């Protein structure tokens, strides 16, 4: 039985290390790892990428583009975990739950762009509602999300974990120039015609995301919270990794713990509604290192492997 050769370029970064951990002990593939002295050697990296069946790029955006430029073996299939190619024509967006055909598109593609962590939650909530017409593509959306500090990569992890308690901020918002690089990705893959406002933040915990999107039903004539709920339930019916919780609109609502799904590839969606005030809150909880990064990459890798066995 052929064991596909998988090369992780950037395997010492946060996502690369997580992918390694998730693949540990797998018998259905071989991992190609470069010695420490060769990891930054452009020639050796190019040789490794072109010798692999599947290359996983866990690199900064510019380095990912450079890595793709070195490819000359047409048989190599690429999963890019950076944001370099998420809106690039010719690349398949690596969110298998995007629609009923997306997993098959990924399995047949040679160029897959792994989704960003925040966009995973936002698109999972918005895309089905926009596609069915329940949410207009030009609705004035605001998206708020808090991630564990590991969302900032290895440098952020070191900065937080080496700080004294007095120096560690409990919460910090960023991207306040309202030009975060995830916005075009969210807009394109959620099917939006109007640019959403996106405000992310880091909390003083390692990993996990809670993302929320408020809706005013007065701006959605004829649309009810029950319809929004039913749309998401239908879209994700039978999904292995996406859970849609029951609609909350009576009595005290449970709090959301951003760390509830850590170390998994699960994504939990929930709607909170106040019928009296005509307001709905769309929410998503997931691990920024799981479904938001390495878990999604391994899910896409498994889809590619089905075509190589």
Paired tokens of 108: 């047949």
- DSSP 8-state symbol, 53: S
In angstroms, rounded to a whole number, what is the distance separating the alpha carbons of residues 185 and 196? 11
- Other beta carbons within 10 angstroms of residue 77's beta carbon come to 23
Q: How far apart are CA 61 and CA 39, in angstroms?
A: 17
Contact 185, 87 (CB under 8 A): yes
Cα separation, 115 vs 26, whole angstroms = 24
Catalytic annotation, pick one of 6, 117, 145, 270? 117
Q: State residue 51 phi and psi, 5-degree precision.
A: -95, -10
The angle formed by the CA atoms of residues 307, 243 and 138, to the nearest 5 degrees, is 90
Sheet holding 30-32, edge to edge: 30-32, 5-9, 54-57, 77-80, 111-113, 92-93
Spatial distance between the Cα atoms of 184 and 154, rounded to a whole number of angstroms = 25
107 contacts: CB under 8 Å, gap ≥ 6: 303, 304, 306, 307
Please calculate the CA angle 97-103-107 and round it to the nearest 5 degrees.
155
Which residues is 78 bridged to in the sheet? 55, 111
Q: Catalytic site residue 117? A: yes
Write the Ramachandran bin of 246: left for phi over 0, alpha for psi from -120 to 50, otherwise beta.
beta
Q: Residue 175: left if φ>0, alpha if ψ -120 to 50, beta else—which one?
A: left
Residues annotated as catalytic (active site), given as ranges: 117
């Amino acid at each position: 039985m052929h064991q596909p050769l998988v090369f992780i370029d950037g395997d010492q970064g946060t996502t690369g290390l997580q992918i390694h951990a998730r693949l540990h002990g797998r018998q259905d593939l071989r991992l190609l790892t470069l010695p420490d002295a060769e990891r930054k050697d452009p020639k050796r990296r190019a040789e490794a990428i072109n010798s692999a069946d599947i290359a996983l790029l866990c690199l900064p955006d510019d380095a990912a583009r450079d890595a793709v430029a070195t490819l000359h073996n047409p048989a190599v299939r690429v999963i890019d975990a950076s944001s370099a190619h998420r809106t690039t024509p010719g690349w398949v967006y690596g969110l298998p739950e995007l629609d009923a055909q997306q997993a098959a598109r990924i399995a047949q593609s040679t160029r897959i762009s792994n989704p960003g962590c925040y966009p995973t939650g936002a698109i999972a909530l918005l895309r089905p509602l926009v596609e069915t017409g329940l949410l207009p593509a030009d609705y004035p959306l605001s998206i708020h999300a808090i991630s564990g500090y590991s969302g900032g990569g290895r440098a952020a992890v070191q900065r937080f974990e080496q700080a004294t308690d007095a120096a560690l901020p409990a919460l910090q918002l960023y991207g306040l120039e309202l030009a975060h690089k995830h916005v075009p990705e969210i807009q394109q893959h959620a099917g939006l015609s109007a640019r959403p406002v996106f405000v992310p933040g880091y909390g003083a915990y390692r990993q996990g995301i809670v993302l929320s999107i408020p809706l005013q039903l007065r701006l959605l004539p004829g649309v009810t919270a029950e319809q929004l709920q039913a749309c998401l339930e239908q879209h994700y019916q039978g999904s292995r990794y996406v859970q849609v919780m029951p609609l909350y609109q009576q009595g005290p609502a449970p709090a959301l713990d951003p760390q509830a799904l850590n170390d998994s590839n699960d994504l939990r969606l929930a709607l909170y509604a106040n019928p009296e005030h005509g307001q709905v809150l769309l929410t998503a909880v997931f691990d920024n290192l799981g479904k938001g990064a390495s878990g999604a990459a391994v899910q896409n890798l498994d889809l590619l492997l089905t075509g190589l066995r």
